[in-house]
């Protein structure tokens, strides 16, 4: 794995008996560990109103992780732009760039990251217009983050300069994220780096990468296509332990895809004790085929082959290892173990 860069995507899972404070504390410790291991970047997702996910506010979490780390890049995977005004996003990430110069990634997605009710609460206008204006909002953010800022043109003929921060000395790297052709083509058209949400979508990866690479237009910030892969990963000393630790997240994803009520993440013992119904088992079996689960050596080999197959030199791990009931609530031994075994 020495030639393959590894990064982390963290949703901050919340399990049975765990408070939000404990879940966040465990993720901050994991970020520090990833930094010490030499991993490339550590991103936080944006999801809302999900009992098993504490990653709701990437900028806050990025700031906390930046303060606890030394060299690893920190960022969003991603900010769901329809939920936010572009100026707010630009200001937040300009501040983060000032806190951790040269270490900040701004990953931007077009999905809302929640259900329609929460989306309406996040977007006071209650309109789909923000989604439709996604391309222009991405451009607005990129301009406002530059030292010269963006110029607003008024219909009366006047102009107004908007800067995300008064005296910028640098700006975050903007990445477009997506699970469909749309973001791949938009990233290509604007010469931006791109990441397909393979850990979530699982299908359409080859087409999205081909569209991005074949349609890419060089920009001032990026001369050639730049992308990496995301993957759900569980590594353990034995394949049996890895399969057991993967089961809580597999069951949670099956409930989500089956439109069943969400709840906190089960412990390994709870997941093993609960027999899935036929639909859940079908969903689990289908997802299991796309996840990387096994001993450290087996997962390292599979990830290297996966990266080579798709022509990338970096994989962002979503370490989805569950916890046993006896393990500390303010730590995440299974996820830590996954990173250790893949760097070994």
Residue tagged 């299991």 (tokens): 288
DSSP codes joined into one string, 110-168: SS-SS-HHHHHHH-TT--THHHHTHHHHHHHHHHHTSTT-EEEEPTTS-EEEE-SSTT-
Whether 299 is in a domain gets the answer no
Whether 150 is in a domain gets the answer yes
C-beta atoms surrounding 290 within 10 Å: 14
Compute CA distances 87 → 47, 109, 140, 170, 197, whole Å.
20, 16, 8, 17, 25
**Cβ 250 vs Cβ 284: under 8 Å:** yes
C-beta atoms surrounding 169 within 10 Å: 10
pLDDT value for 40: 98
Whether 202 is in a domain gets the answer yes
Token couple for 284? 């689990």
- Phi, psi dihedrals of residue 93, rounded to the nearest 5°: -80, -25
- Phi, psi dihedrals of residue 276, rounded to the nearest 5°: -75, 155
Tens of each residue's pLDDT in the chain, 344 residues: 558 999 999 999 999 999 999 999 999 999 999 999 999 999 999 999 999 999 999 999 999 999 999 999 999 999 999 888 899 999 999 999 999 999 999 999 987 766 777 777 776 544 444 677 889 889 989 999 998 888 877 666 678 889 999 998 889 999 999 988 999 999 999 999 999 999 987 689 999 999 999 999 999 999 999 999 999 999 999 999 999 999 999 999 999 989 899 999 999 999 999 988 999 999 999 999 999 999 999 999 999 999 999 999 999 999 999 999 999 999 999 999 999 999 98
Token couple for 326? 């006896």
Whether 286 is in a domain gets the answer no
The total of structural domains in the chain comes to: 1
Q: Pick from 92, 93, 95, 103: which is nearest to 31 by CA?
A: 103
The runs of H, that is alpha helices, within 289-324 are 296-310
Domain that holds residue 18: 5-234+311-331
Say what the alpha-carbon torsion angle 136, 141, 145, 149 is, to the nearest 10 degrees. Answer: 50
- Phi, psi dihedrals of residue 135, rounded to the nearest 5°: -60, -45
pLDDT value for 125: 47
Whether 196 is in a domain gets the answer yes
Compute CA distances 74 → 126, 222, 308, whole Å.
31, 20, 25
Whether 325 is in a domain gets the answer yes
Give the contacts of 226 (CB within 8 A, at least 6 positions apart). 193, 194
Whether 73 is in a domain gets the answer yes
- Phi, psi dihedrals of residue 265, rounded to the nearest 5°: -65, 135
Domain with 204 in it: what CATH number? 3.20.20.30
pLDDT value for 156: 65
Whether 291 is in a domain gets the answer no
pLDDT value for 344: 80
């Amino acid at each position: 794995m020495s030639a393959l860069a590894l990064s982390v995507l963290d949703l901050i899972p919340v399990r049975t008996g765990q408070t939000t404070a404990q879940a966040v504390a465990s993720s901050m410790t994991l970020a520090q560990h990833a930094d010490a291991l030499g991993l490339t970047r550590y991103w936080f997702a944006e999801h809302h109103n999900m009992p098993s996910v504490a990653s709701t506010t990437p900028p806050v979490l990025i700031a906390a992780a930046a303060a606890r780390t030394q060299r690893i890049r920190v960022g969003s995977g991603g900010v769901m732009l329809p939920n936010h005004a572009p100026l707010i996003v630009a200001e937040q990430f300009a501040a983060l760039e000032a806190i951790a110069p040269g270490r900040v990634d701004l990953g931007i997605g077009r999905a809302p990251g929640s259900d329609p009710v929460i989306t309406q609460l996040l977007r006071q206008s209650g309109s789909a217009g923000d989604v439709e204006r996604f391309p222009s909002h991405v451009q607005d953010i990129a301009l406002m983050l530059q030292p010269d800022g963006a110029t607003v043109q008024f219909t009366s003929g006047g102009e107004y300069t908007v800067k995300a921060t008064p005296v910028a000395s640098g700006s975050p790297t903007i990445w477009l994220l997506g699970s469909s052709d749309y973001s791949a083509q938009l990233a290509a058209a604007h010469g931006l780096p791109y990441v397909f949400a393979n850990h979530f979508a699982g299908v359409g990866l080859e087409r999205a990468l081909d569209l991005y690479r074949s349609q890419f237009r060089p920009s001032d910030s990026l001369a050639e296509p730049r992308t990496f892969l995301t993957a759900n990963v569980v590594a353990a000393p034995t394949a049996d332990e890895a399969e057991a630790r993967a089961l809580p997240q597999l069951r949670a994803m099956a409930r989500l895809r089956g439109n069943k009520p969400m709840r906190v993440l089960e412990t390994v013992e709870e997941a093993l004790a609960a027999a899935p119904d036929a639909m859940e088992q079908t969903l689990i079996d289908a997802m299991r085929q796309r996840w990387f689960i096994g001993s450290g050596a087996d997962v390292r080999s599979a990830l290297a082959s996966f990266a080579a197959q798709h022509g990338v030199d970096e994989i962002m791990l979503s370490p989805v290892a569950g916890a046993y009931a006896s393990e500390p609530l303010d730590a995440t031994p299974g996820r830590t173990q996954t990173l250790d075994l893949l760097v070994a």
